[in-house]
Amino acid sequence: MERQPITTQTRKLLSRHQIALKKSLGQNFLTDAHVIGKIIRSAELDRETGVIEIGPGIGALTEQLAEYAGGVVAVELDDRLVPILREQFQGQSRVSIIHGDAMKVDFRRLIGEHLNGLTKYAVVANLPYYITSPILMRLLEERLPLTHIVVMIQKEVAERLRAKPGTKDYGSLTVAVQYFAEVSWVATVPRHVFVPRPNVDSAVVRLSVRPKPAVHVRDERLFFRVVRAAFNQRRKTLSNALSTLLLNGKNKETLNRWLEEVGIDPRRRGETLSLEEFARLADGLADHLG
């Protein structure tokens, strides 16, 4: 029998289970096998690789992950979808369906319990868009043993992840993600391949997690404080943006001297600084603030 197009399968399954999709949970399901193929190829899976999937929905991507990976642990928040997924993957020992919130689950424990014995780990997901930035930061900041993260996200956010200094898309999310990972663009995905169709286009990006951060900093917390301060008031000069946040607006001359000491013009805007310059700046400030 000829296989039905994935759009028809998705609609039928949802209507059979009388499931109305929830916008609040970012439920836009992928219905294009070609796009799923691109995600899978970019994930470079093999039987040694364990995959964490966030938001499996009704399993369109999960099915392919299970085909190529050594194990899949899929975390779904919607309790209406969990029984459908469990039924679909019943008897497939490589797939574990977890009912939970990806912002709260203990990923390290899930890896230990469900992907035990595998040697590499990756996150592969068509993310619910409302948690894109916090979930990416969580995965990176927790320093999980991941080699890469392949995600479908809003195109506009993807542009921010790969942005260069001095552009409108360059911001604290760019710096934070590029600090931990190398970003590459996999594909631009038009909105019409989702059910229901979202209001924006999407993109698949691959974050290859660096064995060591892109720049060495003496105090990581201070580095991120400086980055946030610089972008919080992105129209201001570095001197103004940093003095408000770091020094309560006082001692601007002192701060200007510190900036000059590390070779950074206080009249520049934070949005023009490269990762290396932010690192040099934070290390210079650490001498005085530490």
What residues make contact with ligand SAM under the rule CB under 6 A? Answer: 25-30, 54-57, 60-61, 75-78, 81, 101-103, 126, 128, 131
The answer to whether 52 touches 61, Cβ cutoff 8 Å, is: no
CB of 53 to ligand SAM, least distance (A): 7
CB of 131 to ligand SAM, least distance (A): 5
HEC string of the chain?
A: CCCCCHHHHHHHHHHHCCCCCCHHHCCCEECCHHHHHHHHHHHCCCCCEEEEEECCCCCHHHHHHHHHCCEEEEEECCCCCHHHHHHHCCCCCCEEEEECCCCCCCHHHHHHHHCCCCCEEEEEEECCHHHHHHHHHHHHHCCCCCCEEEEEEEHHHHHHHCCCCCCCCCCHHHHHHHHHEEEEEEEEECHHHEECCCCCCEEEEEEEECCCCCCCCCCHHHHHHHHHHHHHCCCCEHHHHHHHHHHCCCCHHHHHHHHHHCCCCCCCEHHHCCHHHHHHHHHHHHHHHC
CB of 104 to ligand SAM, least distance (A): 8
* Pairing mode, strands 71-76 and 49-54: parallel
Rounded to the nearest 5°, which phi and psi values hold at 260? -65, -35
Shortest Cβ contact with ligand SAM: which residue? 55
CB of 97 to ligand SAM, least distance (A): 11
- Nearer residue to ligand SAM within complex by CB, 115 or 131: 131
CB of 179 to ligand SAM, least distance (A): 24
- Nearer residue to ligand SAM within complex by CB, 75 or 209: 75
CB of 25 to ligand SAM, least distance (A): 4
CB of 61 to ligand SAM, least distance (A): 5
- Nearer residue to ligand SAM within complex by CB, 32 or 44: 32
- Nearer residue to ligand SAM within complex by CB, 78 or 277: 78
- Nearer residue to ligand SAM within complex by CB, 94 or 285: 94
- Nearer residue to ligand SAM within complex by CB, 56 or 284: 56
- Nearer residue to ligand SAM within complex by CB, 100 or 263: 100
Binding residues: 28, 30, 55, 76, 101, 126
Binding residues for S-adenosyl-L-methionine: 28, 30, 55, 76, 101, 126
The answer to whether 33 touches 67, Cβ cutoff 8 Å, is: no
The residue type found at 283 is D
